[in-house]
Amino acid sequence: MYTSETHIRVRYGETDQMGYVYYGNYAMYYEVGRVESLRRLGLTYRELEEMGVMMPVLENKSKFLSAALYDDHLKIVTTIREKPGVRIRFEYDIFNGEGILIHQGETMLAFVDKNSGRPCRPPEVFQKVLKPYFE
């Protein structure tokens, strides 16, 4: 299992008239957690794309436990529980500044060959950096 943490602060433009984070912005928070978790492994989305692999989102799930508010400091814990194949599942736990779990989410992405548009296995370098977490 691989886990990483990312921290963000809620910006005014991410909230609705009540000062709560607009529900659609959680998908953006997932992306921040996902991109930064890969970066901590030593890979970037850009590098994967340069290797000819795209990662479109197939599923996006959200569970709202409590509201995030303007200027809240959020911790996004991103987890990969299963060794990826053609698909990869990311799980997200979002905590507020007091350490309270306020949101849970999940995305399923596919590895897709950039040229053919067909599903493919993750690049060898991707499998190599994740290997120690799934032995």
Residue 17's CATH number = 3.10.129.10
* Digit-coded pLDDT (tens) for 23-68: 999 999 999 999 999 999 999 999 999 999 999 999 999 999 999 9
Structural domain including 38 reads: 2-127
Alpha-carbon gap, residue 31 to 23, rounded angstroms: 14
| pLDDT averaged over every residue in the chain | 96
Number of domains within the chain: 1
Rg (CA), the chain: 16
Instruction: Give this prediction's pTM.
Output: 0.94
Q: Is residue 132 part of a domain?
A: no
Cα separation values, 51 from 54, 112, 126, Å: 9, 11, 11
